[in-house]
């Protein structure tokens, strides 16, 4: 009977099993084996019973033995228990100690959200008490079957199919045990967190398949709905994945006549569908897009082109006219060749379009690019110095997409509203490529600064996810109607610290949480993020799967350390303007973030400040970020930036630049007194400005703030 069932599963579901060597390694340990897996459909138990070696005993909630499940269980060994009974696991413990191979779904139920549900600590307690070795299994594909619970009647909905391809991935065996000094609630909490992280990480390791970005787009069109709309913009220029692939082949072929032999090509375009077609057109023909920051000005853009050895920049006359960038483009034209998309489109005739349709997706050179080849060049914002080129590989970006997917589940029909510019890594990876390459939809908006329009647009397109900075989210909240964000599942904030006042504002006005995350351009960019299943206010969440970290002590700073990270999402390397075109990789794969952080016992990360954003006053190290924090609490409506200038007596002194006219040296002293901070954390000078400078990415422009402070003391 089992042989026939296995044959039918292989025939209809094309079941593939990966990593069986990990199971056999566990068998070699001669310890009891406890299988665990994510629970996505009614097929999960039979799949494990049929395709994982050995005779498996399942622990099943007695209330779930009904209907089809009751019939399927006749083919398996199982222990029926009352999952609400604290003693439910004793039967499984007995079976494991008797040498049986046992299996538990740690979520205790089939997912109704498409993502990992609540993970119970009972599984970890069983493993610890029996000394069993845990063999994790990840089930992928069954969530799209007719036997999943994602039919819209319980919670989430996906387009279900009778026979989707199913992949079982067996991950390396793990031991789960708590430190000996923990007991009671602390022990349960520790084991629950450890098991949750294991289940979460399994999703990344099982799904991550390095390939080129163009090949991943083709895969997404085949695996998800290739003909459904996946891209829309303010001009209502809608595209499906199939149409995007064809447009990329046609436009790429036309551009190739102009840029053949060039490694990197500049892209100077806003968030519109044409940008995406241009990005993938370059990918299709093996060129690396160098994303230029059009808010930076002519000087930085020319410098960026020289640093990356860019010979040609692709832009649009309509965009140049709309943004009044004529002078900037004229300056750029002195160092690079400018190609306007309008001119390229005029050269594309009907025959070219037909050939683009007929040409195989796998016939373009970019399809076979190596995963470790460079995929994009971004430029650091220059918030603390001269911009550098950051080279990210195809593998870097795809790894980060899967790392994010393991943290935040996005269903194929859901929409990400992206107003963050794609010259910023947050806007490119999370805002654009994540939804496009994972089967969802992306709505592109050209500027994050349209505070009144963006909430209305999010309402109109039924946005499910939005990314932004604290500055942007504060602006949206001031203008938005309480219903504008009714469909939002998650706001995700990054790039700068999320103020508690902003988080509270969204809870009060919209009844929605903001999940704070953290990343840097050099890590593609996400490094950590809070998620519904695991979050802690005041932190940026736990590190994403696959990231190693270390903290190096910083003289004068007692708490935390300087964060170094390593992982598949860490860049290929830098391009410096004093040595154009030469890639400088991170030593031994470790990247110095330059951030001072602390990590608690559960792995939650708290950002204490930039290493460069500390002042040394009378021999003491003072965090400029910490000073801003208590001032923000006193004046949540204002925008405040604290910098330091030389002081002949104390080494340095603090200067506050603010747009809040109610602040003065006296009110700052009062705020410091209420916050209970030391006297050395009180700015000696307050400078009132009409607007505190910000970058196009939403971060405070500290070099410009520094200049304001220096001009004040120089009398200019």
Q: Catalytic residue positions?
A: 39
Task: Report the phi/psi class of residue 708: left, alpha or beta, with left for phi > 0 and alpha for psi in -120 to 50.
Answer: alpha
d(CA 706, CA 445): 31
Non-local (6+) Cβ contacts of 219 within 8 A are 211
Determine the 3-state secondary structure of 193 from DSSP. helix
Alpha helices in 106-183, H assignment, sequence order: 122-130
- CA neighbor of 359 nearest in space, from 285, 288, 286: 285
d(CA 521, CA 332): 24
In DSSP terms, 148 is beta-bridged to: 41
DSSP output for 597-651: EEE-TT-BEEEEEETTSEEEETTEEEEHHHHHHHHHHH-TTS-EEEEEEEETTTE
Q: Determine contact, residues 601/614, Cβ cutoff 8 Å.
A: no
End-to-end CA distance of the chain: 88
In the block, tokens 């070696």 appear at 53
- Cβ atoms within 10 Å of 84's Cβ, excluding its own: 8
- Cβ atoms within 10 Å of 566's Cβ, excluding its own: 17
d(CA 192, CA 205): 20
Q: Determine contact, residues 530/536, Cβ cutoff 8 Å.
A: yes
Q: What is the radius of gyration, based on Cα positions, of the chain?
A: 27
Residue 405 tokens read as 């997917």
For 393, half-sphere exposure in the C-beta direction (CA atoms, 13 angstrom radius) is 19
CA distances from 323 to 72, 270, 318, 338 (A): 63, 10, 9, 16
d(CA 528, CA 542): 5
Element (H, E) at 79: strand 77-81
d(CA 381, CA 685): 27
Helix 241-259 to helix 273-284 angle (10° resolution) is 60
C-alpha 441 chain-centroid distance = 16
Determine the 3-state secondary structure of 134 from DSSP. strand
Nearest 10 degrees: CA dihedral of 239, 245, 248, 251?
A: -80
Residue 592 tokens read as 């110095």
d(CA 296, CA 391): 19
Task: Report the phi/psi class of residue 3: left, alpha or beta, with left for phi > 0 and alpha for psi in -120 to 50.
Answer: alpha
- CA neighbor of 534 nearest in space, from 301, 184, 197: 197
- CA neighbor of 137 nearest in space, from 193, 192, 202: 202
Q: Determine contact, residues 389/376, Cβ cutoff 8 Å.
A: no
Q: Determine contact, residues 470/496, Cβ cutoff 8 Å.
A: yes
State the burial class of residue 77 (Cβ atoms within 10 Å of its Cβ: 0-12, 13-18, 19+): middle
In DSSP terms, 290 is beta-bridged to: 266, 377
């Amino acid at each position: 009977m089992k042989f026939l069932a296995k044959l039918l599963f292989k025939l209809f579901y094309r079941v593939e099993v990966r990593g069986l060597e990990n199971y056999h390694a566990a068998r070699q340990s001669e310890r009891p084996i406890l299988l665990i897996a994510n629970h996505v459909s009614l097929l999960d138990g039979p799949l494990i019973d049929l395709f994982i070696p050995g005779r498996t005993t399942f622990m099943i909630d007695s209330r779930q033995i009904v209907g089809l499940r009751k019939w399927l269980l006749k083919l398996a060994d199982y222990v029926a228990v009352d999952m609400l009974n604290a003693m439910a696991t004793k039967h499984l413990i007995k079976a494991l100690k008797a040498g049986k191979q046992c299996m538990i779904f740690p979520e205790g139920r089939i997912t109704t959200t498409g993502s990992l549900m609540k993970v119970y600590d009972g599984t970890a307690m069983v493993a610890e008490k029996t000394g069993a070795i845990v063999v994790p299994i990840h089930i992928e594909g069954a969530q799209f079957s007719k036997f999943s619970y994602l039919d819209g009647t319980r919670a989430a909905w996906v387009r279900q199919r009778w026979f989707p391809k199913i992949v079982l991935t067996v991950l390396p065996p793990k031991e789960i045990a708590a430190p000996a000094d923990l007991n009671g609630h602390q022990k349960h909490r520790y084991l629950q967190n450890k098991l949750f992280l294991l289940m979460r990480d399994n999703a990344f390791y099982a799904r991550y398949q390095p390939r080129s970005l163009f090949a991943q787009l083709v895969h997404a069109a085949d695996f998800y709905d290739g003909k459904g709309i996946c891209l829309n913009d303010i001009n209502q220029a809608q595209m499906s994945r199939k149409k995007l692939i064809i447009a990329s082949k046609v436009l790429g072929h036309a551009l190739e006549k102009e840029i053949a032999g060039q490694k990197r090509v500049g892209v100077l375009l806003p968030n519109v569908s044409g940008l995406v077609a241009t990005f993938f057109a370059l990918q299709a023909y093996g060129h690396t897009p160098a994303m230029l920051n059009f808010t930076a000005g002519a000087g930085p853009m020319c410098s960026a082109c020289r640093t990356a050895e860019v010979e040609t920049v692709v832009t649009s006359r309509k965009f140049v006219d709309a943004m009044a960038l004529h002078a900037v483009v004229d300056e750029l034209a002195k160092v690079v060749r400018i190609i306007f998309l309008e001119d390229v489109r005029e050269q594309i005739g009907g025959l070219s379009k037909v050939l683009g349709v007929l040409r195989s997706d796998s016939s373009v050179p970019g399809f076979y690019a190596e995963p470790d080849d460079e995929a994009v060049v971004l430029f650091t914002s220059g918030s603390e110095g001269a911009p550098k080129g950051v080279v990210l590989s195809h593998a870097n970006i795809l790894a980060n997409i899967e790392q994010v997917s393991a943290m935040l589940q996005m269903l194929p029909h859901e929409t990400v509203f992206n107003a963050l510019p794609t010259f910023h890594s947050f806007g490119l990876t999370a805002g654009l490529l994540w939804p496009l390459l994972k089967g969802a939809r992306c709505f592109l908006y050209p500027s994050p600064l349209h505070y009144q329009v963006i909430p209305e647009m999010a309402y109109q397109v039924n946005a499910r996810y939005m990314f932004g900075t604290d500055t942007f989210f504060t602006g949206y909240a001031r203008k938005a109607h309480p219903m504008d964000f009714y469909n939002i599942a998650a706001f995700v904030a990054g790039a700068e610290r999320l103020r508690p006042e902003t988080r509270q504002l969204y809870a009060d006005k919209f009844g929605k949480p903001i999940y704070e995350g953290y990343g840097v351009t050099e890590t593609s960019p996400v490094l950590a993020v809070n998620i519904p299943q695991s979050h802690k206010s005041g932190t940026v969440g736990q590190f994403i799967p696959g990231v190693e970290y270390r903290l190096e002590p910083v003289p004068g700073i007692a708490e935390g350390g300087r964060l170094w990270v390593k992982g598949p999402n860490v860049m290929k390397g830098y391009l410096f303007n004093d040595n154009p075109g030469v890639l400088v990789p991170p030593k031994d794969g470790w990247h110095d973030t330059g951030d001072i952080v602390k990590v608690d016992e559960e792995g939650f990360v708290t950002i204490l400040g930039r290493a460069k954003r500390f002042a040394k006053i009378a021999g003491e190290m003072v965090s400029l970020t910490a000073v801003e924090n208590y001032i923000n609490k006193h004046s949540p409506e204002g925008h405040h930036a604290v910098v330091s200038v030389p002081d002949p007596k104390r080494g340095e002194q603090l200067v506050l630049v603010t747009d809040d006219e109610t602040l003065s040296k006296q009110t700052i002293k009062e705020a410091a007194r209420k916050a209970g901070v030391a006297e050395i954390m009180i700015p000696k000078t307050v400078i009132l400005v009409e607007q505190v400078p910000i970058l196009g990415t939403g971060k405070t422009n500290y070099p410009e703030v520094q200049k304001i402070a220096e001009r004040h003391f120089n009398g200019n």
